[in-house]
């Protein structure tokens, strides 16, 4: 049984790191589950994290790198000697190696590439040339491919001889190329089971395999895997030469990364992952960049109130309804934003269908506006005993609910058509427009009915 | 070239459906990409969607069901004759079949199960007994398993004889069981390549394979796949009998579903997917359920303003700052909520570490509060020419930023510890508490300094 005062495991890790004994560090890391490992290593400061990776063997260091957040892995590897860094990166899958190197400073990445074998450096550079969200950026080079004239016997001999090299390779398919590198067929491993050893793989392969181009978008890749129940797809260049393959799992990970990033952006965490182990000033600066846009928009919206001070002074009770209308319109609008973003990502909505979304939202908006406005009207009436105050507050909320769902439903489509990111900009646009409209409605209707309110 | 007035493809689909000619319908669906198919079919009303599935062959209907949103597939299949529904479900992977049946009304699901073969109904019922987010709910029964005494020759004969049955099976591993059903080993397909036909699979298998229990949680499954670079894992019951396997892809899909659901919930879409093709009243009712909780909380928060009407009446300019403080505190707090939810889901934060999160957030909160409060103070001073008005507005925003990040950072942890869903409840709690505090701070500080403000 652990005593209650046992220090958390990252303190033990720091202690072992001070003594810097490789075998004890490796033995300690062995005792941790992957999630405990991630937790412990992510709690170290940048300096210690780099020292840990350098102190243990490259294969153990690679196992650590696979578990911790990418942003921490990049920072730590940048601080290590290029030779050690190259040895660690060598132990990773090529796609992971490329992801890390692309996020490093150019000079550091080049130094590490120079410390790799020529072949590994060349493959890595070739993969790095693709953006992360196109087919080329999702692909791996760790698959089996052979020239079509090879016999089954030679192929099996090659598999046996290179068993250890191929250990981490994708083996579901074997790609078959022409001597000039063009993809010509695919061979399933179990097709080899029943084949006579002297046959060539050209005779056994499925010819004209499906493939994607290196510049196909992530959505194209998803469409491909939606349509074909395959484990992976080969990628070719514009000369039809085989340049890589994409596993279905790599696509799934990219889609998950994309929705995680969208979640963070809608919540105002912009520019990548924030971890609480990052320096306070860095976290503060990144959050402030987003907040300062919002405060400027808020001041603009609030200036509508400033222009109606006489109405407010006459009926001070109206001030109570300003934040309610602002908040509730935000809630209604955000629901519409979420449904639009979801329908867009499910492919159930085309960015051009602004009119359809607007009609669908307006119907819901009137019903919900009536319900919420009616409720607020009753509360206001009961509070001050003046039915007209209820009418003003209720009407403003009702109308502004319709405005909010109209804006919330359509803005993500318009942003998508403009090539902008709906996750990033929908929220601030929604809030500002609905605040301005809501304040104008409440104070405008109130000034028109002022004699009945005082 | 398409004429510009060409009707969208779902109008064509409706037209063909009126004529109800199976071959023409099937041919038309063939021409659509999976995403176009999803778009078209999702645009039909419930009644037409059910008629479409019944009118085409079960295999084509199953292909449609795989593409459209689950909620629409469930509603449509419920409306079809049980025999036809069973024939369509038969064409699906068992995990998809179970997902759809679990979401149907009990009576309808039973009628469809009764129309299946006894074996299929039994398997389906057994899988349905597990919750969707435990190992049993993620597993498939479509894998190969054989008794350990079988010879390689017999196994290969079985594979050849049943090739068409096994077509959609997971073939990366072959599981080996004892005669009583207990899992005893695993055989990789390529281990069969080099084996003498007369050997038993017991001699070739890797003994004591890794496995998970049927009641392991989704997080346990993720930890397993984090630790082991495997394509799938067998699932056993408490007697160690093999009951299913989980593919890595099934886990990835479950994780994506979970984060999509969290996104919808944080935006106020509660109770599952909303699609704009759903009936307006249903969409309105579900959104209102969430909105009515929020309006109640908003009224509570605004009652703080009602209690300070004299202060407001004396300094009417304060009303301008009420919505600004409410909105900006919401923004700051939401950032902290997002970082906490993200760190929790990455496993970098334990739900018990409330103190650590609070300290980390307070540091950022003071810096950002100073910046935002300072900015607002300058705006207020410039607007009314009164530095004390600036001081009041700035101090209130500064202090409330600290409150907002404290609440936003810690509430997701507290909700998780209480077994509640942080995605659902963090937002409303945050908004209400920060509104109350913000209004109290602004109006409280203002009343204390009233002589300087008027």
pLDDT tens track for B294-345: 999 999 999 999 999 999 999 999 999 999 999 999 999 999 999 999 898 8
Tokens of B125: 């019922």
What phi and psi, each to the nearest 5 degrees, are found at residue A149?
-85, -5
**Picking from A64-68, A133-137, A157-161, B441-445, which range would have the lowest pLDDT averaged per residue?**
A157-161
B330: Cβ contacts below 8 Å, ≥ 6 apart: A327, A330, B404, B430, B431, B434
- Average pLDDT estimate for B340-368: 91
Residue A22 has a pLDDT of 86
A332 to chain B: closest CA residue:
B291
> Would the pLDDT of A170 be above 60?
yes
Per-residue pLDDT reduced to its tens digit, A88-144: 999 998 989 999 999 999 999 999 999 999 999 999 999 998 988 899 999 999 899
Q: Which of B160, B338, B368 sits opposite A284 (nearest CB)?
A: B368
pLDDT band at A365 (very low <50, low <70, confident <90, very high): very high
In terms of pLDDT, which residue wins out, A85 or B195? A85
The pTM score is 0.83
Residue with tokens 């004699």: A451
Residue A421 has a pLDDT of 85
> Would the pLDDT of B176 be above 90?
yes
Q: Which of A319, A364, A368 sits opposite B319 (nearest CB)?
A: A319
pLDDT band at B193 (very low <50, low <70, confident <90, very high): low
* Rounded Cα gap, residues A15 and B232, in angstroms: 38
pLDDT band at B5 (very low <50, low <70, confident <90, very high): low
| Eight-state DSSP code of residue A435 | H
> Would the pLDDT of A313 be above 80?
yes
Beta-carbon neighbour count of residue B270 at 10 Å?
Answer: 18
Residue B454 has a pLDDT of 80
> Would the pLDDT of B125 be above 80?
yes
**Helices in A211-353 by DSSP H: which ranges?**
218-227, 248-266, 280-306, 309-314, 318-346
pLDDT band at A445 (very low <50, low <70, confident <90, very high): very high
> Would the pLDDT of A348 be above 90?
no
Residue A306 has a pLDDT of 92
Residue A252 has a pLDDT of 84
Sheet holding B170-177, edge to edge: B143-147, B170-177, B183-188, B206-207
- Average pLDDT estimate for B214-227: 86
Q: Which of A266, A301, A338 sits opposite B269 (nearest CB)?
A: A338
> Would the pLDDT of B3 be above 50?
no
> Would the pLDDT of B445 be above 60?
yes
Task: Give the best-scoring range by mean pLDDT among A269-273, A360-364, B190-194.
Answer: A360-364
A220 to chain B: closest CA residue:
B35
> Cβ contact (<8 Å) for B324 and A302?
yes
pLDDT band at A2 (very low <50, low <70, confident <90, very high): very low
In terms of pLDDT, which residue wins out, B347 or B128? B128
Helix (H) or strand (E) holding A172: strand A170-177
pLDDT band at A408 (very low <50, low <70, confident <90, very high): very high
Q: Which residues of B176-198 are buried (b: 16+ CB within 10 A; e: fewer)?
A: bbbeebebbbbbebbebeebeee
Judged by a CB distance cut-off of 8 A, whether residue B190 touches chain A is yes
Residue A165 has a pLDDT of 79
Task: Give the best-scoring range by mean pLDDT among A195-209, B95-109, B218-232.
Answer: B95-109
> Would the pLDDT of B121 be above 70?
yes
- Average pLDDT estimate for B284-289: 91
> Cβ contact (<8 Å) for B262 and A266?
no
Contacts of A338 in chain B (CB under 8 A): 263-264, 267-269
Contacts of B317 in chain A (CB under 8 A): 306, 309
Tokens of A247: 């596993």
In terms of pLDDT, which residue wins out, A368 or B277? A368
Judged by a CB distance cut-off of 8 A, whether residue A203 touches chain B is no
From B107's Cα to the closest Cα of chain A, the distance in A is 30
- Average pLDDT estimate for B274-281: 88
Q: Which of B227, B275, B335 sits opposite A287 (nearest CB)?
A: B335
Q: Return the percentage of chain A with pLDDT > 70, whole number.
A: 98
* Rounded Cα gap, residues A323 and A329, in angstroms: 10
What ipTM score was computed for the predicted complex, to two decimals? 0.85
* Rounded Cα gap, residues B76 and B82, in angstroms: 12
From B3's Cα to the closest Cα of chain A, the distance in A is 17
A247 to chain B: closest CA residue:
B249
Whole-number CA gyration radius for chain B = 30
pLDDT band at B2 (very low <50, low <70, confident <90, very high): very low
In a 10 Å sphere around its CB, with 0-12 CB exposed, 13-18 middle and 19+ buried, how is residue A4 labelled? exposed
> Would the pLDDT of B358 be above 80?
yes
Per-residue pLDDT reduced to its tens digit, B32-73: 887 788 889 999 988 999 999 999 999 999 999 998 999 999
């Amino acid at each position: 049984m652990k005593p209650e005062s046992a220090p958390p495991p990252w303190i033990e890790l720091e202690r072992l790191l001070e003594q810097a004994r490789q075998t004890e560090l490796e033995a300690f890391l062995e005792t941790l589950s992957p999630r405990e490992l991630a937790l412990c290593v992510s709690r170290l400061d940048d300096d210690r994290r780099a020292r840990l990776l350098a102190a243990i063997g490259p294969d153990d260091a690679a196992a650590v790198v696979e578990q911790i957040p990418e942003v921490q892995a990049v920072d730590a590897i940048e601080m290590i000697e290029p030779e050690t860094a190259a040895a660690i990166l060598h132990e990773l899958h090529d796609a992971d190696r490329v992801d890390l190197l692309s996020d490093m400073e150019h000079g550091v990445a080049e130094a590490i590439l120079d410390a790799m074998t020529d072949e590994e450096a060349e493959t890595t550079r070739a993969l790095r040339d693709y953006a992360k969200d196109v087919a080329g950026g999702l692909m791996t080079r760790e698959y089996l491919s052979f020239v079509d004239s090879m016999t089954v016997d030679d192929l099996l001999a090659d598999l046996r001889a290179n068993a250890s090299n191929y250990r981490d390779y994708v083996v579901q398919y074997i790609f078959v190329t022409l001597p000039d590198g063009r993809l010509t067929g695919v061979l399933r491993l179990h097709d080899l089971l029943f084949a006579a050893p002297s046959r060539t793989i050209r005779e056994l392969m499925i010819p004209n395999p499906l493939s994607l181009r290196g510049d196909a978008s992530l959505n194209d890749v998803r469409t491909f895997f939606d349509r074909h129940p395959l484990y992976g797809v080969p990628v070719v260049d514009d000369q039809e030469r085989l340049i890589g393959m994409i596993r279905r799992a790599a696509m799934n990970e990219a889609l998950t990364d994309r929705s995680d990033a969208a979640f963070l952006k809608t919540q105002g965490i912009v520019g990548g992952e924030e971890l609480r182990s990052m320096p306070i000033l860095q976290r503060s600066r990144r959050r402030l960049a987003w907040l300062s846009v919002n405060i400027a928009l808020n001041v603009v919206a609030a200036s509508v109130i400033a222009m109606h001070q006489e109405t407010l002074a006459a009926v001070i009770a109206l001030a109570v309804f300003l934040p309610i209308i602002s908040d509730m319109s935000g809630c209604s609008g955000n629901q519409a934003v979420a449904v639009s973003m979801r329908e867009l990502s499910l492919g159930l909505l085309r960015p051009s269908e602004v009119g359809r979304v607007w009609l669908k939202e307006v119907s819901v908006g009137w019903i919900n506006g009536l319900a919420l406005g009616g409720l607020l009207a009753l509360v206001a009436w009961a509070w001050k005993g003046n039915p007209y105050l209820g009418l003003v507050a209720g009407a403003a909320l009702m109308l502004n609910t319709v405005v909010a769902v109209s804006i919330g439903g359509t803005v993500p489509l318009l942003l998508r058509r403009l090539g902008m990111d709906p996750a990033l900009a929908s929220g601030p646009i929604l809030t500002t427009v609905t605040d301005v409209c809501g304040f104008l409605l409440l104070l405008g209707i109130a000034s028109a009915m002022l004699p009945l309110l005082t």
